Copies of this chain bind each other. A is one copy, B any other.
Amino acid sequence: MKITRRNMLAQTMAIGAATSVPAMAAAAPRTVERWGVFEIELAGPSGGNPFVDVTLAAVFEGAGKQIRVPGFYDGDGAYRIRFSPPELGSWRWRSESNAGALAGKTGAFTAVAPGKGNRGPVRVSKDGYHFAYADGTPFRQIGTTCYSWALQSDAKCAETLKTLAGAPFNKMRMLVFPNVPSVATNPFARTGDGPRDWDPARFDPAYFRRYEDRIQKLGALGIEADVILYHPYDEKRGYSDMKRADDERYLRYVTARFGAYRNVWWSMANEYDNIETKAVEDWDHLFQVLVAADPHDRLRSIHQINTYYDHRKPWITHASVQNGAAVLDDLRAELHRAFALKPVIFDEVVYEGNIAKRWGNLSAEDMVQRFWYGLIGGCYVGHSETFAADRNADGSWLGQGGSLAGHSAPRLAFLHRIMEEGPVPGVEPIQAWWNYHLGGQQNAYYLRYFGAEQPTEWPVVLPGKGPDSLQSYRLDIIDTWNMTVTPVEGVFRMAKKNDYDVQDPARPTVKLPGKPWIALRLVKVQA
């Protein structure tokens, strides 16, 4: 029996790993950061098929909780159990297995205060429509997608990580199974040379070790890893066409391996409705398997091409939506919240790029526009890029990662700054069903976005009634493309306009620059 104690995310974070101690401290008081990873390594049987034959879990007790955490086989007779302590304090554990060498092992550790940069996993915020880290810090999602980046060479991955370190993205959508040319293509043991010659009952630990290395490196950059478990683009290999028992084993393996990393989110599938071998009932079942297999209760979604999945189903934590037109209007975006009653991320809204396909040739302006409309509608948006010399998206940022060639990223960083300066837990649509096109926080903070329109004036009318609505506001003119914030002199002192609205009778309007991509921000001040 060998116990390693790792706090992987904290270790790989550039700063603040002060509470981390070297691995392999087999005895003595052991500590791990709250929300870090405590890993047990056990030696066990390597004969037969350990992926199928051997059961393994550990029950962790601490902070008044008892949590059963499944383990996994990592090859060469090594078994691991990974647990991320949700609470501070002492934790004890005891292993369970059908293999004598793995059963009845015990141990203990202490979960200590998280180091700098460790804010815990992202959860749905209490209001139900936004996200926050476990420590309460709002998580303002600015996503991107590099489908098979994790499966590229270490050099290419390093390039992607370097790009990400200088980019605004805090969530990465990434496939477990490859969809474009990749270095790593075999999640399962090969049984021959044909694309379908693999054994769904034998994982290739090296493949998953590579993938979890990428997860950790994203974590070190403060980026959530939105792990996409299935996709429809590998008919050749058929990884998304497995039988139910194989699917269940796969989900259990992935959750046991990856689920303890606090930056992991689960996306059940990309374009689930394009996977012809699975029906909605299958996805429902697999979600239930996922929930049961994941003691860390990571965020869960599913992404569609044509038919929206029913995001109200209880295992869905937030809606992941593909729809390019929905975020050309904040009120279209808002409707997705009204249907899901959960946070909404437009994870695919067509890509900034230059390929011939209409899904991959947005201008940077149009990409940025979609983020702003999504924000005003109380939702979140995802980016990606399809610039490619060969007009083929495979080698683009979308397919393999690498470097960015577009011009939206700096504007999304600017947008993220605006979001961070905004209300907690996030921007709410304001009386959306009355067509105001305002987001913010009632009687405190408002955003208005004009997209491609070029107004020269705007009537400063806010919805609201009663004493709480009679606030004073400072107003900023935000050029979302040129990334400038220009305060307008003085304040707007709101008075009752009618039964529904307030307005400053002395300053009923504001002059605007008559340019596209302008937004307004009104922030309450003490009058």
Contact = CB atoms under 8 A, between A and B. Distances in A.
B434 A338 contact: no
Interface in A331-367: 331-332, 335-336, 338-339, 341, 356-358
A326 interface: yes
Nearest to A436: B325
Interface stretch (A189-197, A227-235, A305-313, A442-450): A305-313
A315 interface: no
Contacts of A200: none
Given A324-B434, A432-B325, A433-B323, A500 B358 contact: yes
Contacts of A325: 331, 432-435
A39 interface: no
Contacts of A226: none
Contact of A358 (B339, B357, B434): B434
A329 interface: yes
A499 interface: yes
B356 A499 contact: yes
A495 interface: no
A316 interface: no
Contacts of A324: 433-435
A187 to B, nearest CB: 32
Interface in A476-521: 499-500
A328 interface: yes
How many copies of this kind of chain does the complex include?
A: 2
- Shortest Cβ-Cβ A-B pairs, 5 listed: A325-B435, A339-B339, A325-B433, A335-B335, A332-B332
9 contacts: A312-B312, A324-B434, A326-B331, A331-B332, A332-B332, A335-B335, A335-B339, A358-B499, A358-B500
B434 A339 contact: no
Contacts of A336: 335
Contact of A308 (B338, B357, B500): B338
Interface string A444-485: 000000000000000000000000000000000000000000
Contacts of A432: 325
B500 A339 contact: no
Contacts of A339: 308, 335, 339
Contacts of A308: 338-339
Contacts of A433: 323-326
Contacts of A434: 324-325, 358
Interface string A370-389: 00000000000000000000
A446 to B, nearest CB: 17
Interface in A276-329: 307-308, 310, 312, 323-326, 328-329
A325 B328 CA distance: 15
Given A312-B312, A324-B434, A326-B433, 15 more contacts: A308-B339, A310-B312, A323-B433, A324-B435, A325-B331, A325-B434, A326-B331, A326-B335, A328-B435, A329-B329, A335-B335, A335-B336, A335-B339, A356-B499, A358-B499
A130 to B, nearest CB: 18
A332 B338 CA distance: 12
Contacts of A329: 329, 331-332
Contacts of A338: 307-308
A433 B307 CA distance: 12
A341 B435 contact: no
Nearest to A324: B433
A310 B499 CA distance: 32
Contacts of A357: 499
Interface in A163-185: none
A470 B89 CA distance: 71
Interface in A63-86: none
Contacts of A331: 325-326, 329, 332
A97 to B, nearest CB: 42
